[in-house]
Chain A
């Protein structure tokens, strides 16, 4: 069951859930996704530390990755238990307890980038009676747009439940002035598939280039998935189709032998194999 269906985020991410994030594998996945998100931010490579906003920072796993890359960051989350763990961990960045649906409370034009790992889908929920996902999205994207500096990128890794959710988020972001699109890594895999919403807040000063979505990762890295708007086009990736299993014709000798082997394994009495095994009887007259 998806965690979004269980309870509001501040309740789901309690002490027990926080402990799950101590898991080595979980941490590895988080750090890989953060690295990929930072890569998608496409910050200029000049070794200057940037000021980055981490939405849904949780226990600070993604933030630690940012610190490792030499950036400074502010983390925002709705779950107090997660933030307390982040403080225990002694993360470098500053933390805030804030619901993203109520907006991003920062002055305009201060962040050089924004990342968010596995959070955005929560915005589609209405956990309280007064919540309206559409208005919450608008408020969120509007305030986020304001707090971004010109040309800064926002990268959201998220798990959309269906196409409607993706469309809703994309259209809300576009309405607020963002430019961007989806990047889907490993679109044909089930668990490795990762959806990134890459948004750019206007064009950087001095450049007039329109937004070009970065390349997605695919099974054989060179070929990528092109994204046009919300539609996803598969380029022909050789070998992405699973090789078909060789089918054994029913009642053929091979099929019968396999059956017999199986039966024998289960402990049934099976007739010995002879040259007559699975041979067809002559048609009756």
Chain B
């Protein structure tokens, strides 16, 4: 599962709909992939991404160096774009689980499939 997908996921239960974001990640196996930054796609997605979700995912996975908010003029900063894209698309959680913060239901991730 990519972190971009994690950023979109909520608990499917009706009661949790609005309160279950972001899901907590417990990862036991993570793989890295190498895909090149696609600027057009990134620009589209940044509007849709919840920064809170990225921060919580980074905390769960012990990743450091992510700013608290999205910087202004981010699209000019190539370093930042590359880093963001690689966080979203190249980090692949293959084994682990997702936990809903509201109902505490656990969704296992096996073979990268939640």
Name A106's contact: one of B8, B41, B44, B112 (CB within 8 Å). B8
Name A49's contact: one of B12, B38, B50 (CB within 8 Å). B38
A-B contact count (CB 8 A): 58
By a CB distance below 8 angstroms, the chain B residues around A203 are none
B41 adjacent to A105 (CB under 8 Å): no
| Residue B45, interface by CB 8 Å | yes
By a CB distance below 8 angstroms, the chain A residues around B113 are 80, 83, 87, 95-97
The smallest C-beta distance from B46 to any residue of chain A, in angstroms, reads: 12
What is the bound-complex CA distance between A47 and B38, given in angstroms?
A: 12
Name B41's contact: one of A48, A84, A107, A143 (CB within 8 Å). A48
List 16 A–B pairs whose Cβ atoms lie within 8 Å, in order of A's numbering. Answer: A49-B40, A50-B44, A51-B41, A51-B45, A51-B48, A72-B41, A83-B111, A87-B113, A94-B2, A95-B112, A95-B113, A98-B12, A105-B11, A107-B9, A107-B10, A110-B8
Give the interface size class of chain B. Answer: 20 to 34
| Residue A177, interface by CB 8 Å | no
By a CB distance below 8 angstroms, the chain A residues around B9 are 105-107
Q: Interface size on A (CB < 8 Å)?
A: 26
| Residue B62, interface by CB 8 Å | no
The smallest C-beta distance from B105 to any residue of chain A, in angstroms, reads: 11
Known contacts A95-B112, A105-B11, A106-B10; A74/B44 CB under 8 A: no
> Interface code B81-114, partner A: CB below 8 Å = 1, 0 otherwise?
0000000000000000000000000000001111
B41 adjacent to A49 (CB under 8 Å): yes
Binding site for A on B (CB under 8 A): 1-2, 4-5, 8-12, 14, 21, 38, 40-41, 44-45, 48, 50, 111-114
B114 adjacent to A74 (CB under 8 Å): no
B5 adjacent to A74 (CB under 8 Å): yes
What is the bound-complex CA distance between A106 and B53, given in angstroms?
A: 13
The smallest C-beta distance from A236 to any residue of chain B, in angstroms, reads: 44
What is the bound-complex CA distance between A83 and B1, given in angstroms?
A: 13
> Interface code A21-55, partner B: CB below 8 Å = 1, 0 otherwise?
00000000000000000000000000111110000
| Residue A160, interface by CB 8 Å | no
| Residue A214, interface by CB 8 Å | no
Name B12's contact: one of A87, A105, A109 (CB within 8 Å). A105
| Residue A9, interface by CB 8 Å | no
Of all chain A residues, the one with the shortest Cβ separation from B11 is: A105
The smallest C-beta distance from A138 to any residue of chain B, in angstroms, reads: 11
> Interface code A207-234, partner B: CB below 8 Å = 1, 0 otherwise?
0000000000000000000000000000
